[in-house]
Amino acid sequence: MNPAALESIQALHRAVYVEGELFGVDRPHAVDPLQAPDGPARPNAIAVAGGAFGDEGKGRVVDELCMRSLRAGRAPLVYRWNGGANAGHTVIVNGQRVALHQLPSGALHREAVIVLGKGMVIHPGDLLAEIDRVRAVTGGPMATLIIDENAVLALDTHRALEAALRDWQTGGSGATGRGIAPAYADVVYRHPLRVRDLIAADWRDRLRRHYALYAALVKGLGRDLATVRVPSLRAESILVGPESEFIERHGPAATALDVYAQDSRPVLENVWAADGPTTPIIFEGAQAIGLDTRWGVYPDVTASDPTFDGIAHSTEGMFRSEEIAVRAGAIKATYTSSVGSRRLPTAMDEALAQRIRDDAHEYGSTTRRPRDIVYIDLPCLRFFARISGMTHLILTHLDISYPDAPIRVCTHYTDRRGHVCGYRPDQGFLSAVTPHYLDLPAWDGAALRGAQELAALPREALQYVAFLTRAIGCPPLMATTGPERTALLSWLPG
By annotation, the residues acting in catalysis are 55, 89
In whole angstroms, the minimum distance from the beta carbon of 335 to ligand IMP comes to 15
Q: Does 178 bind ligand IMP (CB under 6 A)?
A: yes
Q: How many C-beta atoms lie closer than 10 Å to residue 269's C-beta?
A: 13
Q: How many C-beta atoms lie closer than 10 Å to residue 369's C-beta?
A: 12
326: which strand partners? 46
Pairing mode of beta strands 281-288, 144-148: unpaired
CB nearer to ligand IMP: give 87 or 108.
87
Q: Does 174 bind ligand IMP (CB under 6 A)?
A: yes
In whole angstroms, the minimum distance from the beta carbon of 302 to ligand IMP comes to 3
Pairing mode of beta strands 113-116, 77-80: parallel
Residues 117 and 314: beta-carbon distance below 8 Å: yes
In whole angstroms, the minimum distance from the beta carbon of 276 to ligand IMP comes to 34
Residue ranges of alpha helices (H) inside 278-377 are 309-314, 350-359
Give the separation between CA 58 and CA 223, rounded to whole angstroms: 38
What's the count of helices (H) and strands (E) in the chain, helices before strands?
16, 22
Residues 280 and 69: beta-carbon distance below 8 Å: yes
Q: How many C-beta atoms lie closer than 10 Å to residue 16's C-beta?
A: 23
Point out the residue whose Cβ comes nearest to ligand IMP.
54
Q: Does 300 bind ligand IMP (CB under 6 A)?
A: yes
Q: Which stretch binds ligand IMP (CB under 6 A): 263-271, 277-285, 297-305, 464-472?
A: 297-305
Give the separation between CA 418 and CA 53, rounded to whole angstroms: 27
Q: Does 86 bind ligand IMP (CB under 6 A)?
A: yes
Of 5, 71, 2, 25, nearest in space to 478 by CA: 25
In whole angstroms, the minimum distance from the beta carbon of 97 to ligand IMP comes to 17
Q: Which stretch binds ligand IMP (CB under 6 A): 186-194, 220-228, 295-303, 431-439?
A: 295-303
Choosing from 51, 54, 310, 345, the residue that interacts with ligand IMP (CB under 6 A) is 54
Q: Which stretch binds ligand IMP (CB under 6 A): 124-132, 169-177, 225-233, 263-271?
A: 169-177
Choosing from 303, 326, 376, 390, the residue that interacts with ligand IMP (CB under 6 A) is 303
Q: Does 291 bind ligand IMP (CB under 6 A)?
A: yes
Choosing from 45, 98, 163, 175, the residue that interacts with ligand IMP (CB under 6 A) is 175
In whole angstroms, the minimum distance from the beta carbon of 357 to ligand IMP comes to 15
Choosing from 121, 180, 344, 451, the residue that interacts with ligand IMP (CB under 6 A) is 180
Choosing from 82, 150, 232, 287, the residue that interacts with ligand IMP (CB under 6 A) is 287
In whole angstroms, the minimum distance from the beta carbon of 5 to ligand IMP comes to 28
Residue ranges of alpha helices (H) inside 221-308 are 243-249, 251-260, 265-269
Q: Does 176 bind ligand IMP (CB under 6 A)?
A: yes
Q: Which stretch binds ligand IMP (CB under 6 A): 171-179, 275-283, 405-413, 422-430?
A: 171-179
CB nearer to ligand IMP: give 44 or 176.
176
The kind and range of the H/E element at 150 are: none
Choosing from 47, 55, 215, 379, the residue that interacts with ligand IMP (CB under 6 A) is 55
Q: Does 181 bind ligand IMP (CB under 6 A)?
A: yes
The letter for the amino acid at 263 is D
Residues 272 and 282: beta-carbon distance below 8 Å: no
Q: How many residues sit close enough to ligand IMP to count as binding (CB under 6 A)?
A: 18
Q: Does 207 bind ligand IMP (CB under 6 A)?
A: no
Q: Which residues contact 120 (CB under 8 A, 6 or more apart)?
A: 80, 81, 82, 83, 84, 102, 148, 151, 152, 304, 314
Inter-axis angle of helices 251-260 and 124-138, nearest 10: 70
Which residues, numbered 329-348, are part of the site for ligand IMP (CB under 6 A)?
A: 339-340
The letter for the amino acid at 4 is A
Residues 148 and 81: beta-carbon distance below 8 Å: no
Over its C-alpha atoms, the chain yields an Rg (Å, rounded) of 23
Residues that bind ligand IMP (CB under 6 A): 54-55, 86-87, 174-176, 178, 180-181, 287, 291, 300-303, 339-340
